[in-house]
Amino acid sequence: MIYIDERKKAFFLEGENFTYAIDVSDGYLRHAYWGKKIERDDIDQLLFDHPAGYVVAIEASASGRGSLETLPQEISFFGLGDYRTSCFKATGEDGGKVFDLKYDSFELLTEKPSYSDLPMLKGGETLVVRLLDAAKRLELKLYYTVYEECGCLTRHAEITPLGGTVFLERALGFCVDLPDCGYDCITLYGKHSCEAQIDRQALGHGEFSVSSCMGISSHVHNPFMALAEKHATENAGDVYGFGLVYSGNFFLSAQTGEFGTIRVCGGINPLDFRYRLREKESFVTPEVLMTYSECGLGGMSRNFHRAIERYILKRGVPPIVANSWEATFFDFDTKKLFGFIDGLKGLNIDTFVLDDGWFGRRDSDRTSLGDWKVNTKKLIGGLEPVINKCKENGLKFGIWIEPEMISEESELYTLHPDWAVKSKFLKPRTSRNQLVLDLTRKEVLDYLKSTFYALLKNHDISYVKWDMNRPLTEFYSAGLEKENQGEFAHRYVKAVYELADYLTRSFPDIYFEGCAGGGGRFDIAMLKYFSSVWASDSCDAEERCRIQYGYSYLYPLKTVSSHVGASPAHQTSRSIPLESRCNVSAFGAFGYELRLDVLPQEEREFIADYNLFAKQLRSVLAEGELFRTENPFESKFTGFIVMNRQKTKGYGLFYQSKTSYGDGIKMIRLRGLDPKKKYSVPKFGVCAYGSTLMNMGIQHKTTNTDYQSVLYEINEAEND
């Protein structure tokens, strides 16, 4: 709900469990409160007047009443005496940089506006607060939408010059100045094959930030940040979470201010960002999804999951896939594929996905990106015989593409060397032997639209894995004027959105999976187009426990693609029992990445049964709530429980990495049950009340072998 007190110029955004309040102080928009729900009428008694400071503070207004340096704000502008991180900086035609943005008016929209080239959560009632430069040269609109039942809100901003051209040099679309309660800052960091690792550190003095300047959201930092009270745990304590709905160069920061505040702000990375805006031309910032939870990190994640699932995620039940990549890499032909596909019969797999290597002359990663024609030397008769082979075996067919890329060794590069992103003077930098196509150019985007439209139209394809295997460099387009080069990275991402929007809309029944060398572009924005994202190039279940646990802070597990790999694992040479590899993968968008056709018969039988079970689990994962029970970053155990929303059925995973002699017994305390209802957990031969299972827990006798796991079903039982 949005309540507006026009007399007091106060705005209250309320969810079921939170209040977010804004008011106007000396003409500026003040961040008044965000946290557990409070009484609206009390608020103005409690707001502190911002002191002018002593010697150095710049007075905010002619009345000399306060300083912007000490005012908790909703947005901040460079050059006005607030020396904390500025959200916006713009330079006018005269080179002047100061715009004094003050409250002007508000508007309540019944629907949140949507933008075709910038993904955002769908939303209803939206508050728009208009700020206007004192000299009327610039307007800034702040948009707020509440997701009451999710404990979330979204924000974005729209900036419009009113008196001539401006160059926008910073565009961080949101800011909140929270009272400093001694928070820890939590982020997700990583690298290729080791994504979404959790970092938690006390916020000290100064600014702590995570960012990307790689043109993609990146493996290195996910566009996510949380502030947690010192003592906040998985299940209790105040946590504020922020997830940017953006896939490009981003910036998120938390900064301790002079007067007991912490500023959290974020948006487009200002590095190399400079956007020319002509008079009346608007610029819309990426949105942020924000949540407050008093139920610890688990509460934060469930809020995020609900909002993402309901308001942005491209729907689609993840099929159980058998992907060819780690099964064959580039080394396949029709005969080998036929053997592989025949070998899937009877395993209860839904879809065979043909990964890299099917087009051009692509027998290695050196060549052919851009030449999206089937390699008929490898695949005699093209894709059709492979598709028919799938159908014969009761399978659907999926295909790997990497639309944004071009190999120097390709027909496309011979025809259009200028289509690659490069500088005028230097040899372009390759990564994985490939260059990036300049998607900011219309002719390139048109080529990609028509090429992939034709591929998907002309074949019976039900699944697409959209890869993107290198970060951007050069950040230059021959198609942009000199004055627009600072727009390149943002325009590139918007072009990716346009292409993804076009293809996913044209083929609504195709399941799209995203990928960027694993999780190099796993962010909320991508989930508008892709139902899941290949989370990591590491299929080692031990590594995957941490990777998937980390992603689950922000992303619903059903969006985390997770396949059973070979043992020993390609990436780490670690051997893990098949059951544990399956159990870890089943808590995600499930599938296989190994030669299933040549496995021993007893493993094939196990897999056939397991897939039937995984389909039941999948239906609970699709709409249920996630509870994390054991943290692999803090112990050798990983635990998840997913319960349906009626709290009648669920599944739990308990995984143990290395054992030590005498580990013996581990109590598994369940979560998410109704304390007053009885549940049976057949795997442990237990039937007890929710309260008992959640507090006393279940005794699990661990074995003396490494990498053991148990996946157990939880069912509501008849009450006595």
How far apart are CB 589 and ligand GLA at their closest, in Å?
13
Q: Which of 355, 537, 540, 597 is catalytic?
A: 537
From CA 536, how far away is CA 522, in angstroms rounded? 10
Q: CB of 23 within 8 A of CB of 129? A: no
- Judged by CB under 6 A, the number of residues near ligand GLA is 11
In terms of Cβ atoms closer than 10 Å to its own Cβ (0-12, 13-18, 19+), residue 705 is exposed
Per-residue binder mask for ligand GLA (CB under 6 A), 683-702, x = binder = --------------------
Q: Tell me whether residue 674 is one of the annotated catalytic residues.
A: no
133 counts as binding ligand GLA under rule CB under 6 A? no
Specify the stretch interacting with ligand GLA by CB under 6 A; choose among 65-73, 386-394, 512-520, 543-551: 512-520
| Alpha carbon of residue 315 to chain centroid | 15
Residues in the chain: 720
Asked if 542 is part of the footprint of ligand GLA (rule: CB under 6 A), the reply reads: no
Q: Give Cα separations from 478 to 139, 169, 481 (angstroms).
A: 32, 21, 8
Please, which residue, 37 or 432, has the CB nearer to ligand GLA? Answer: 432
Nearest-angstrom CA–CA distance, 443 and 129: 39
Is 626 in contact with 555 (CB distance < 8 Å)?
A: no
Taking CB under 6 A as the criterion, the residue among 33, 534, 592, 684 binding ligand GLA is 534
Residue 371 in the binding site for ligand GLA (CB under 6 A): no
Under the binding rule (CB under 6 A), the answer on residue 350 touching ligand GLA is: no
CA-derived radius of gyration, the chain: 27
Asked if residues 276 and 489 have their Cβ atoms less than 8 Å apart, the reply is no
Q: Please answer whether residues 619 and 586 qualify as being in contact, where contact means their C-beta atoms are separated by less than 8 angstroms.
A: no
Residue 516 beta carbon to ligand GLA: minimum distance, rounded to whole angstroms: 7
Indicate which single residue of 234, 350, 537, 540 sits in contact with ligand GLA (rule: CB under 6 A): 537
Element (H, E) at 500: helix 488-506
Report if residue 515 touches ligand GLA, rule: CB under 6 A: yes
Give CA–CA dist 56/590, Å, rounded. Answer: 59
Query: Which CB sits closer to ligand GLA, 400 or 512?
Result: 400
State the Cα–Cα distance between residues 163 and 139, nearest whole angstrom.
Answer: 10
Catalytic entry in 467, 523, 540, 597? 467
Q: Which of residues 390-409 bind ligand GLA (CB under 6 A)?
A: 400
Smallest gap from residue 552 Cβ to ligand GLA (A) = 20
Among 469, 583, 611, 657, binds ligand GLA (CB under 6 A): 469
**What is the C-alpha to C-alpha distance for residues 125 and 112, in angstroms, rounded to an integer?**
6
Distance of CA 636 to the CA centre of its chain: 26
For residues 581, 329, 400 and 600, what is the CA-based torsion angle, rounded to 10 degrees? Answer: -40
Q: Taking phi first (over 0 means left), then psi (-120 to 50 degrees means alpha), and beta for anything else, what does residue 96 get? A: beta
Q: Based on CB atoms, which residue is closest to ligand GLA, 85 or 462?
A: 462
- DSSP tally for the chain: helices H, then strands E: 12, 38
Rounded least distance, CB 472 to ligand GLA, Å: 17
Q: What is the DSSP secondary-structure string of 473-485?
A: -S---TTS-GGGG
What are the start-end ranges of the E strands in 8-137? 10-14, 18-25, 28-36, 88-92, 101-109, 126-133
Query: Is 632 a binder of ligand GLA (CB under 6 A)?
Result: no
Encoding tokens for residue 327? 């099964």
Nearer to ligand GLA, 68 or 515 (CB): 515
Any contact of residue 543 with ligand GLA (CB under 6 A)?
no
Asked about 467 being catalytic, the answer comes back as yes
Residue carrying structure tokens 């005969």: 335
Pick one of 92, 316, 318, 517: the residue that binds ligand GLA (CB under 6 A): 517
Residue 400 or 549 with smaller CB distance to ligand GLA = 400
Q: Which is nearer to ligand GLA, 212 or 368 (CB)?
A: 368
Q: How far is the CB of 249 from ligand GLA (least distance, A)?
A: 21
User: Which stretch, 506-514, 515-523, 601-609, 703-711, contacts ligand GLA (CB under 6 A)?
Assistant: 515-523
**Residue 512 interacts with ligand GLA (CB under 6 A): yes or no:** no
**Please, what is the minimum distance in Å from the beta carbon of residue 349 to ligand GLA?**
18
Beta carbon of residue 603, minimum distance to ligand GLA (angstroms, whole number) = 23
Q: Which residues, 312 to 331, sit near ligand GLA by CB under 6 A? A: 325
**Per CB under 6 A, 467 contacts ligand GLA:** yes
Nearer to ligand GLA, 192 or 276 (CB): 192
Question: Is 104 in contact with 226 (CB distance < 8 Å)?
Answer: no
Q: Using the rule CB under 6 A, which residue among 14, 139, 356, 540 binds ligand GLA? A: 356
Please state the closest distance from residue 534 (CB atom) to ligand GLA, in A. 5
Residue nearest to ligand GLA (CB): 356
Cβ-contact 13, 153 below 8 angstroms: yes
**195 touches ligand GLA (CB under 6 A):** no
- Of 243 and 517, CB closest to ligand GLA: 517
Give the burial string for 526-548 (b: 16+ CB within 10 Å, else e).
Answer: bbbbbbbbbbbbbbbbbbbbbbb
In this structure, the dihedral spanned by the alpha carbons of residues 528, 531, 535 and 539, taken in order and rounded to 10 degrees, is: -170
Minimum Å distance from CB 584 to ligand GLA? 17
Residue 355 contacts ligand GLA per CB under 6 A: yes
> CB 511 → ligand GLA: shortest distance, Å?
16
Residue 165 CB burial class (10 angstroms; 0-12, 13-18, ≥19): middle
Give the footprint of ligand GLA on this chain (CB under 6 A).
325, 355-356, 400, 467, 469, 515, 517-518, 534, 537
Active site positions, annotated: 467, 537
